[in-house]
Structure 1
Amino acid sequence: MASHVHSSHTEEKVILPPQTKAIWNTFIILLVLTVIEFIIAFVMPANHLRVAIFAGMTIVKAFFIVGEFMHLKHEVKTLIWAILIPVVFVAWLLTALIYEGGHLY
């Protein structure tokens, strides 16, 4: 039996599909935001500013997750606003109820 030996060594470059690149970009952005949150948690004293920063960063992270993994980023603007406006009002309602309840000064 003759053995077949390939003497040419060609390297194949792996090309990732665009969806994979978008997912990795989203992962890196979320990773950076999470690292910043950890730094703030361990460096900054506990006060209302730290809570506000965490709330803002959480909202940014939620938008990235919903936009990329739930594909809302590619929807029509009317649908995005139909989801976004009630979320803003619910956040305002929760803040008002906490403030009026005396837990937030």
Structure 2
Amino acid sequence: MADSHSHHIPADGGAAQRKVIWKTFWILLILTGLEFLIAFTMHHGVLRISIFVGMTIVKAFYIVGEFMHLKHETKSLIWTILVPCVLVLWLLVALMVEGGSIFQEVQVFKFFN
């Protein structure tokens, strides 16, 4: 009698899956290493922060694509998830920029009083 709960084992013993996992590991390790290199060698500033934000977004997209299998989904689902995320990021940047201008106005107001 055949076992109804038997699992399918790939002909290559799962070598293709292990190859993808190791590739993902090395890519994320290299990106993280570059982040550490930048953190300890670059001076504080807008360029450093921009590089960190960019690399973090790249790592996040790669992790979501690989581990949450989003890169294997249909394009409409990808866009349905991606567009709101981009809009939220835009909102956060706009709020930080506008929020910074409030502090400048407070300083100007104190100067005139």
- TM-score (structure 2 length as normaliser): 0.76
Question: Could you tell me which residue of structure 1 aligns to residue 3 of structure 2?
Answer: none
- Matched residues in 2 for 1:70 and 1:17: separation? 20
Q: Which runs of 4+ in 1 moved over 6 A?
A: none
Match of 1:89 in 2: 87
Point out where structure 1 has 5 or more consecutive residues left out of the alignment. Answer: 1-13
1:69 corresponds to 2:82: no
Number of residue pairs matched by the alignment: 90
The answer to which structure has the higher helix fraction is 2
Name 2:6's counterpart in structure 1: none
Of structures 1 and 2, the one with the larger relative CO (CA 8 A, separation 6+) is: 1
The partner residue of 1:25 within 17, 23, 26 is 23
Identity of aligned residues (%): 63
Query: Per-residue displacement from partner, 1:64-99 (whole Å, max 9, x unpaired)?
Result: 100000010100000001001111000000000000
Question: Which residue identity does 1:81 align to in structure 2?
Answer: W
SS at structure 2 position matched to 1:80: helix
Query: What's the TM-score once normalised by structure 1's chain length?
Result: 0.81
Does structure 1 residue 100 correspond to structure 2 residue 64?
no
